[in-house]
Structure 1
Amino acid sequence: MTKKQKSCFFLILKIVKNLPKEYRYELGSQIIRSTFSIILNIAEGSGKASDKELNRFIEIALGSVNETLAGVDVLKDNGFIMNNEFSEVYQKLDSISSQLGGFKKQLDK
């Protein structure tokens, strides 16, 4: 599962690197942290003993997907990234969200 998340993380790093300096720390750092949180919560959850515990970390990862998307949307709305960059991030996050959502449904059974 981590290949998709890592690919998204590296894309976010590239985008943040190109932000104007005055936005790189506050906004860029927050988006990097939320994207990294997706990877870390999946990793931490996969080491838990119960499906209930794993499910909680999947929920947190899904929240981080939404947080990342909201941050990237703000970048797009302010002209810091192009529509094609936004679309690429959106597609990656949508795929991750679908995968996590499907996994969560299996755990909820």
Structure 2
Amino acid sequence: MKFKFENLIIWQKAMDFAESINVISSKFPKKERYNLSSQIMRAVDSIALNISEGSIGQTNPEFKRFMGYSIRSLAEVITCLHKAKRRAYISNEEFAIYYEHSFELMNMMIAFRNKIN
């Protein structure tokens, strides 16, 4: 891999998570295509995008700021998952799986951000 962010486990996990969210959001009703489906995809894609963008920055405070954006995007994904469960677009079991992945990724991202000086 040529870019250092590609070696970051949080970036790799964020990329994988986005693909799995893409699969479930494609199953949402057509009426959600421009609403919840679009929102969850923009938010989940933003996680890895901000990690990579911040890693190219010239300063550690700038990278920390972009990690904050990634963390906020993940929080948005979690809220979208709650909405999808409440609207019965995903099952309780699916929600639990994606929630656990979100929780693990959130903890990793916060720990990573806290290590940036």
Question: Structure 2 length normalisation: TM-score?
Answer: 0.87
Which residue does 1:32 correspond to in 2?
41
SS at match of 1:25: coil
Q: CA deviation at 1:24?
A: 2.3
Aligned residues: 108
Which residue does 1:66 correspond to in 2?
75
The percentage of aligned residue pairs carrying the same residue is 30
Q: CA deviation at 1:72?
A: 0.8
Give runs of ≥4 in structure 1 deviating > 3 Å.
none
* Match status 1:47 vs 2:56: yes
1:7-22 mapped onto 2 (5 Å cutoff):
7-22=16-31
Tell me how far apart the structure 2 counterparts of residues 58 and 92 of structure 1 sit (CA, whole Å). 18
Bigger mean CA offset, 11-20 vs 33-42: 11-20
Tell me how far apart the structure 2 counterparts of residues 93 and 52 of structure 1 sit (CA, whole Å). 24
Query: Greater share of helix residues, 1 or 2?
Result: 1
SS at match of 2:15: helix
